[in-house]
Structures are given as structure tokens and as C-alpha cells.
Amino acid sequence: MSKKTTAIAEKKDAEGVSDATRHRAAPINTQLSAEQKTDLYRTVVRIRRFEERSLRAYLAKKIGGFLHLYIGQEAVAVGCCSLMGKNDHVITAYRDHGHAIAVGMDTKPLMAELYGKITGCSKGKGGSMHYFDPSRNFWGGHGIVGGQIPLGAGLAYGIKYKGLKGAAMAFMGDGAVNQGAVHEAYNLAALWDLPVIFVIENNGYSMGTSQARSSAGDLARRAEGYHMAWGTCDGHDVYEVRSVMNEFLNRAREESKPAVVEIKTYRYRGHSVADPDKTYRDKAEIEEYQRTKDPINVFQSILVAEGVLNDESIGKIDTEARAEADTAADFAEASPFPTVEDIQKDVYWEVDNPQHKTSEGRLFFE
Amino acid sequence: MPVITYREAIRYALAEELERDPNVVVMGEEVAQFNGAYKVTETLLAKFGPKRIVDTPISEAGFIGMGIGASMLGVRPVMELMFWSFYSVAFDQILNNAANVRYMSGGQINCPIVIRGPANGGTNVGATHSLTPENVLANHPGVKVIVPSTPYDAKGLLKSAIRDNDPVFFLENTILYGDKGEVPEAEYLIPLGKADIKRKGTDLTIVTYGRSVIQSLAAAELLEKEHDVSVEVVDLRTIRPLDIDTVLASVARTHRVLIVEEQKPFASVGTQLAYMIQREAFDELDGPIHRLATIDAPAIYSPPVEAEQLPNPQRILKAALGAVA
């Protein structure tokens, strides 16, 4: 995988310095070691290969339900999650595979979850849309559009209540911005100075409805109505995502201030694999993005130019990522399904911790 | 023993738990500066300050969802809904997020939140403010549902609810807020899922909860005096977990059952009770299980007529006579 990236249309400031150049030169990026940069690149590739492998498994009918692929958007999750400190937290919607891998979850239980196996990260109880790993400050994986955003404000409330210096990133798609719960969360966050960044991953389509057909006005600018800071950035460049998000995250951590950041991105696949993707956009649009802004290619050419990557390391990373995805699929395949007895476990804390049980009576019914 | 109101019992439970655990936060519309729409939280702001007693905007989906998120990080929010009727605008947060997050995460995440507030008819506020959603809530595995009828029960159950690591929904009653009862000064807890026999009797078991307990006790007095019928009144106190064993034991003594609930009849709490009683105590029954519910329509405004739509002593008396006939 060493396709050359064509020139990216770049915005330039008064001195003729492009946004991309400025972001690449940001200390948060220049301070990275070659090894750290390689790790970021590797994570982008690993997400891509994991999802491609999961798509094959889906088409082979190994996976049920929905599968919302993140392919094309990888630089957003990798860029944002790479900035997480000990007291920073993440919550997102149902297109959650990228964030899960970006926060460091092992791909074996992630694939096993898709297969509905007991070895899955949620024991086969959540599925594709409901990945969680609180040990990595990753709070899902939520299925209802916009429903996770008040929870994200709550994570920020928890950080603040406990007197910790941290921030929550609450991710949503461009379709979620029209949900009432999102606006309620905006208001609370601004009213109470909660350290939360509402991250709109704008891939242009809320399912099959384009932004122009679903949202009035600019998405991030709605923050102004709540006197919240806001920003936008391009989401195909890991460095740009890191540079922009770093400023907002630091402000959240240091001053406990919320913000809305709209990250422009694109998904190559349909809304879910059930979406034939034939009615609302044309192939040329997808191909144009792939040709000019593919997150792997963009970061790859940057890192090649920096001398961090070369053809050999690029090939090795790709081979390893494919092997990792295959290993995850093999692990998932070989793992057992939950049993019927498992259905009623993990419903109540109290039932799962019988030594601490205080209530009486029946909790389950026939 | 001190005699206090149902409202004070809830307030004292909140105050004791706020005192005990610094992670407990009371949050809701008008709970702080205004002293509570129904004065339940009166004096708490002065005592615990604005970090622990928090006024929210009118934004139920937002602040309940925020409480759920905070609870995942170990805060223990006690959220007041001014009326449980307003749960409808926070439905996704309450029943998708709070109820499901533990399960969907394979048991990795706890949601120790309490949502409390009144859920009742009888105050002539029309259909939008008179919902009694205990059946809808209890339909969701993962949650616990409490409907206390007395000051003593309200205090002991709310303290247990706040200490519980699962989401607990606590349904109070505006008509009961001024009711008085004996409540000990010493701390006590009442476990969830334990019914209480509020009146002993031999001819008929009335299974009920919430304000209908009070109405049923009044009916039981009339039945005793005027009709020589001895009624046992079983107060469920908690809907989920459900103490069906106490119900079945009572049925085994009286052999006749009337379920009384301030609840629309279709797929109500009583529906579940009737199923379980016939399934588990069929041979103990001397007759069909009877039920008295709210008359099946949206809550009517007209004050004298609303009183007739709900269970009341006369309606219960009539239903009880039918059950023992």
C-alpha cells in the first residue's frame, strides 16, 4: 500500500501558510517520536483492515444485525483518541469500531463481539453498535442517534465533580445535530462549564440524507447560540485533527470549558452494510475522496516525506494489520457463543454480585 | 416515635444519604433555590450547598442523560422529575441508556442512578400530568421500581435505593406528601423487594401499592364494619423486584384476591400479578382473580369525576364484594 496521494486542496492564511502546514508544525505533532508517529499510522491501517475483514465476515453471514463501517473516517478517531490522558473519556455512537481500536482495545474481542461470541468485548450482548471498555475510558458504542451526547456531558460532569483535570469527547455524526437531546446537552455543558468537546464527525450524510437536505445552517456554528467555542477541521489528516482537538482539549482540561468541533470526513461504505448506497450519491464522489483524501494515503505520504516510513515499513505494517484482522476473525470463529443461561447475566449488578445482594423478591419473570 | 410527613420522610432520607456519601448529588428542576416544586427538598440547599443540590433547566432528556453519564463515573445522582409524567421526554435516556448500559457492556458498566418524583392522578391536572408509568418502567429488565405508600416505607426504601448499584426509579405521590406517620429517629433501611402486610384479614387478599394502599385500607374498614368481610391488605412497596411470595402466602390464607391499582388496566402491574397468582397458586383460589384499576381512559380533568376514575374506597368496596361473592 504505497499509492501516491495527489495534492490536497489547501486553504492558506494571509502569509500564504496553509492550514495543513500549520497543523503539521504544531508542537503536539512535532514533539512525536518517529515511533509514536508510526504507531498512529499503524492504528489507522489496523482499523481499515479490521473493518475490511469484518465486512468479509458479514458477507459470509458470520455477523448478524447491522455493521456500520468507519472506512474513510479513521483519522478522526485516531487523531482524537491519541490525545487522551488519564482523566479523558470518550463516548460515541454506533459507528464505533474505529474509536474502540483507537483507545487501545484488542481486536480479538472486538471481532468476537461482531460474531456474537462470549469472548466478545461485551460478551456477545452488545454487538457492533455497543462496544465498551471503561478500563480505557471508553463508554460506548451507543445505538440511538444523539442519545449518547447527554451521557458525554455526564462524563464531563463526573470529571468536574471529582475535581479531576480531564475532558470528555462526545462523538456524534452530522445527523445527530438535529436531535433534541444534543441541544439539551449543549445547553447544560455551556451553562455549567463542563469540560466536554462535542465532536461532530461530518461525513456528509445522515444515513442517506445529505447535510443540505437535513440540517439548516452550519453545524458547529450552532454552538454560538449557547456561547460555546467551536471550530472545524478536516478529518482526513491525523495531524490536523490532533492539532485542532489539542487546543480544545487543553482548554477543556485547564479552564473547564465545552466546545463543539466539526470534523469534515467521509465514509466510503453505505450507512450500514445493508445500505446499497445507490440512491443518494454517485461513485465519482467516493472515488474523488479516496483519490485525494484517503486517511491512510495522506498520512502515509506525510510520514514518507518526513522520513518516518518507507516502502518496507509501510508494507510490513499493512501485512501485520491484515494478519491481525485474520487472527481476530479466527479467534472469533473458534470462540463459543454465549449460552441461554448467559442471557440473564449482566442485567443487574446485584444479581452478578450475590455476596452484596441486599434486595429480596424476584428480579426476573416468566 | 416521631410523627412526620411523607414529604419529610423523603427529605430526611435524602439528607442522611447526602451526609453519608459525598458522591450523592440531588438534581432536578427547582430542587435547590425554589426548595422543590413540592417542597420535598426544602432546606437541602442551605445545608449542602449548590455543588450537591443542583437546579437544572427544564430539560429532562439532557439532565437525566447527564446524570446517567455521571453515574458511570461513580457519581450517585438522585434526579427529581417534577412529575414522573415528564419521563416521556427523557424516555430514551431512562429506558435505553440507564436500563441497558450494563447489559450491552457485558456487565462492565454500572448505573447507580435514582430517579424520583410523583406519579399519580387525583389532582385534576389532566392527562399529561397524571401518568403512572410503574408498569412501563418495570417492563425493562435492569431497572428497579419502588412505589411507597407511607412515610416509614418512603424513607427506608429511598435510602436503600440511593445505595443500590442498579438504576432505581422511585415513584411518589403528591396526594400523600402531607400524610403523616411514625418514623423512627434511628437510621433504618427497608430492603427492596419486600412486601408489607398493612392489615391482617381472613376472607380476601387485596394486593396493591402506592396510594391505593391507603384507599384499600379505608375500604377494608368499611368492609369489616358494614359487611363483616375480613380483608388482608398486602402492600407490594416494590414492583421490581417483586415479593410474590408474600402475596402467594396471603392468597393461601384467604383464597380470594382483589388487585387494586392506580393504573390503566391494559398490561398493568396487576396483569402480571394475576398471571403469577394463577400460575403459582391456582389450587388456592376459590374464585377468579378480580381487579380494580383506573377507568380505562386518559385522566379526566373534571374534579369530581376524576375521583371516580381512580380507585377509591367505594369502588374498592364494591369490587371486594364482587370478589368474595
pLDDT digit string, tens, across residues B145-156: 999 999 999 999
Calculate the average pLDDT of chain B. Answer: 98
Q: Minimal CA–CA distance to A70: which of A296, A302, A323, A317?
A: A296
* Residue A27 forms part of a structural domain: no
Q: Are residues B155 and B270 in the same domain?
A: no
pLDDT band at A20 (very low <50, low <70, confident <90, very high): confident
Contacts of B81 (CB under 8 A, 6+ apart): B28, B60, B64, B87, B90, B115, B116, B117
- Given B158, B182, B206, the domain boundary residue is B182
Give the span between the Cα atoms of B309 and B151, in whole angstroms: 25
Q: Are residues B155 and B236 in the same domain?
A: no
Q: Give me the mean pLDDT over the A1-8 stretch.
A: 37
Taking an 8 Å cut-off on Cβ atoms, the answer to whether A348 and B160 are in contact is no
pLDDT at A18: 80
Cβ–Cβ contact B240 with A under 8 A: yes
CB A110 within 8 A of CB A82: no
B177 conformational bin, left if phi > 0, alpha if psi -120 to 50, beta if neither: alpha
Q: Which of B74, B96, B103 sits opposite A125 (nearest CB)?
A: B103
pLDDT at A13: 64
Q: Give me the mean pLDDT over the B282-310 stretch.
A: 98
Evaluate if residue B17 carries a pLDDT over 90.
yes
Cβ–Cβ contact B280 with A under 8 A: no
- Given B154, B182, B210, the domain boundary residue is B182
Number of domains in chain A: 1
Element (H, E) at A159: helix A149-161
CATH of the domain at A243: 3.40.50.970
- Segment A257-275, tens digit of pLDDT: 999 999 999 999 999 988 8
Shortest CA distance from A120: residue in chain B: B106
Give the span between the Cα atoms of B287 and B281, in whole angstroms: 12
Give the span between the Cα atoms of B54 and B51, in whole angstroms: 6
Contacts of B73 in chain A (CB under 8 A): 89, 154-155, 158-159, 162
CATH of the domain at B270: 3.40.50.920
Q: Quickly count: other Cβ atoms within 10 Å of residue A279's Cβ.
A: 7
Q: Give me the mean pLDDT over the A200-217 stretch.
A: 96
Give the span between the Cα atoms of B73 and A151, in whole angstroms: 11
Question: Which structural domain, as residue segments, surrounds residue B286?
Answer: 196-324
pLDDT at A278: 87
Number of domains in chain B: 2
Q: Are residues B239 and B156 in the same domain?
A: no
Q: Are residues B77 and B156 in the same domain?
A: yes
- Segment A316-362, tens digit of pLDDT: 999 999 999 999 999 999 999 999 999 999 999 999 999 999 999 99
Q: Which of A155, A180, A356 sits opposite B61 (nearest CB)?
A: A180
pLDDT band at A7 (very low <50, low <70, confident <90, very high): very low
Burial of residue A56 (CB within 10 Å: 0-12, 13-18, 19+) is: middle
* Residue A160 forms part of a structural domain: yes
Give the span between the Cα atoms of A140 and A122, in whole angstroms: 10
* Residue A41 forms part of a structural domain: yes
Interface of B with A in 162-191 (CB under 8 A): 163-166, 189, 191
| Complex ipTM | 0.96
Element (H, E) at B154: helix B151-163
Evaluate if residue B219 carries a pLDDT over 60.
yes
Write out the catalytic residue numbers of B.
60, 129
* Residue B96 forms part of a structural domain: yes
Give the span between the Cα atoms of A158 and A152, in whole angstroms: 10
* Residue A248 forms part of a structural domain: yes
Interface test with A, best of B51, B103, B276 (most A CBs within 10 A): B103
* Residue B189 forms part of a structural domain: no
Give the span between the Cα atoms of B23 and B37, in whole angstroms: 24
Contacts of B100 (CB under 8 A, 6+ apart): B142
Shortest distance, CA A190 to any CA of chain B (angstroms)? 12
